[in-house]
Structure 1
Amino acid sequence: MKFSFSRLLGIGVLMFSALAAQAHAEAPKHNVAEVNGVKIHYLSAGKGDPVILIHGYTESSHMWLPLIAALSKDHLVIAPDLRGFGQSGLPAGPYTKSVMAQDVHALATSLGIKSAKVVGHDIGLMVAYAYAAQYPKEVSKIALMDAFLPGVGNWKDVWLLRDLWHFHFYGETPLALVKGRERTYFEHFWNDFAADKTKSLSEADRKFYTSEYAQPGHMKAGFEVFRAFEQDAKEFANYAKTPLTIPMLVLTGEKASGEFLIQQARLVDSNVEGVVIKNSGHWLMEEATAEVVPKLVQFLK
């Protein structure tokens, strides 16, 4: 097959454009800040309109890498490891979602961020809601991704509480049982909370998170997040008395939270868009990346 010079030039231009676009996705930087009495590790990338991404249990800021790549073209993206998780510090407590939100807010303040859009998944959505409830004038949009809000509506009937045992699985005996078996414990979440365990977290990510949580003190910190649910429920019930008016996007997995979280969200915010991701379970970023990332990018514009 013969190619004219102009056609070859055109192909070259297209290849160059594709490579340039790929290079434009800035690799996130690793940073550490001492805020609110705790060391917080966070990823940062891009510049412009700030977006804060808050991870959930069994994961860390690492979960957001695909979204960071998409958002950093137009936004300053900040993705912290919550206290007790990833590379952040391990305070004795408290691990209420309100205090964890105060950590994130203190980090934002230290970076000169006066207003941000906030996204949270799993435990992170509870922290995101607590952030917006405590600082409503400093949040322009909020996205909640598959879990539930303790203390809001009929919250004890939520799908994720079908395995109630692990929300009370803390203390010396549970810690002894999971020591050296962290992955076995996490496989329950990664496999059973997915619509299809073969489309859940990758093998590389499973190894990465197991290594992070196997660090001394990290499993205990994770368990303290569950121990705090009773206090979270009291605080969230009080927050809900003053509904938010912030634009809120709620993304849930059809095989996970479904309509439940959307119904809860409408009890705490008057401006809610709810989307159930078909054929997906709890791990939306991993199970439905191609649908979830564009939806978040569009909402956060």
Structure 2
Amino acid sequence: MTSITNRHPGMPGQPGREFSGIASRVRSVFAILAAVLSMAAASPALAQAPQSKFAEVNGVRLHYLVAGSGDPIILMHGYAETSHMWLPLIKALQKNHLVIAPDLRGFGESSMPETDYTKAQMARDIHGLAETLKLGRVRIVGHDIGLMVAYAYAAQYPNEVDRIALMDAFLPGVGDWQSVWLLRDLWHFHFYGKTPLALVEGRERIYFEHFWNDFAADPAHSIPEADRVFYAKAYGKPGRMRAGFEVFHAFAQDAVDFAQFAKTPLTMPMLVLTGEKASGQTLITQARLVNTNVEGVIVPNSGHWLMEEATDQVVPKLVAFLNK
């Protein structure tokens, strides 16, 4: 009987050739795996997904996403969204920065106090988080409600903010704020209390479709479907809609607070990004009433949802500004 090892390795169908082929494929797999791991080690954006963490601040349990290392940047989300909205920007910034994206009080996975939804108080929450994390001097970005919180942060702690970016909405109490574009639907700024909550319970997605569609330049290129499902589920949890409504309920006090803040103009670099089909020039004009160092950019063919409608324009602009 001839042993397997003596069979000709070149003959088709012979085990010698089969074993050689298997060994070759195994070596190829390991080579590919080693290359992928090497790339991951060399690229922080590829290697590190944001971590989900919590901190107790001002009696509020704040949830936040964190990634990267370096000079710290805080990203503040708007209404109808959560910290989830910042994932594309986190990926771009974490190569050179420590990026923190909190859920504001009442939103996402943060706790839901009964009161204190003024933007000044919400900014104090975020400042408390920055102190807890020992961030020191920070760079901040805010969209929608988040831009109001970002401005309140900079106004209350100007020496601790290196630069600030505001993205499409308005500043209550500043200039001709009651005629801004977003106030065309004034009803929803007064939509809080027992009856509104009963009307939207179980219909959160229907309610948010109005914002996601009507505030976009093109509803078909606004918030992606997967994100709509994510946000509707997040806001559908008990107490979330009530907390969300409270940010509008607080606008009257915000207007008083911001009018007072505006008496002392800010001087740090401020980038203002607005959608051509949304805030347009209005927010830029307001920003120049509260800051002496403003760069205003109107993003063409975009509505309110800048991160989703104009990702390829907005992310590079923010990265360039924040990297300075």
Unaligned runs of at least 5 residues, structure 1: 1-11
User: Partners of 2:42 and 2:55 in 1: how far apart?
Assistant: 32
- How far did 1:21 drift? 3.8
User: Partners of 2:166 and 2:77 in 1: how far apart?
Assistant: 11
**Which residue of structure 2 aligns with residue 236 of structure 1?**
258
Give the total of aligned pairs.
291
Contact persistence 1:249–1:299 (CA under 8 A): yes
Contact persistence 1:25–1:69 (CA under 8 A): no
Q: Which amino acid aligns with 1:164?
A: L
**Which residue of structure 1 aligns with residue 15 of structure 2?**
none
TM-score by length of 1: 0.94
Asked which structure has the greater CA Rg, the reply is: 2
Which 4+ runs in 1 deviate beyond 3 A? 16-25
2:82 pairs with 33, 51, 60, which one?
Answer: 60
Unaligned runs of at least 5 residues, structure 2: 1-33
Contact persistence 2:45–2:95 (CA under 8 A): no
Contact persistence 1:121–1:147 (CA under 8 A): yes
**Which residue of structure 1 aligns with residue 24 of structure 2?**
none
- How far did 1:113 drift? 1.0
User: Partners of 2:227 and 2:135 in 1: how far apart?
Assistant: 30
User: Partners of 1:218 and 1:41 in 2: how far apart?
Assistant: 14
- Kindly tell me: are residues 25 and 199 of structure 1, through their superposed partners in 2, closer, same or farther at Cα, counting changes over 3 Å? farther
**Deviation string, structure 1 residues 249-271 (Cα, Å, up to 9, x no partner):** 00000000000000000000000
TM-score by length of 2: 0.87
Written as runs of structure 1 = structure 2, the 5 A alignment for 1:9-88 is 21=43, 24=46, 26-88=48-110
**Which residue of structure 2 aligns with residue 282 of structure 1?**
304
- How far did 1:26 drift? 1.9
Contact persistence 2:44–2:68 (CA under 8 A): no
- How far did 1:45 drift? 0.3
Counterpart of 1:250 in 2: which secondary structure?
strand
Contact persistence 2:40–2:46 (CA under 8 A): no
Counterpart of 1:83 in 2: which secondary structure?
coil
Aligned Cα RMSD in Å? 1.8
Counterpart of 1:119 in 2: which secondary structure?
strand
User: Partners of 2:151 and 2:281 in 1: how far apart?
Assistant: 18
User: Partners of 2:203 and 2:301 in 1: how far apart?
Assistant: 30
User: Partners of 1:250 and 1:269 in 2: how far apart?
Assistant: 11
* Identical amino acids, percent of aligned pairs: 70
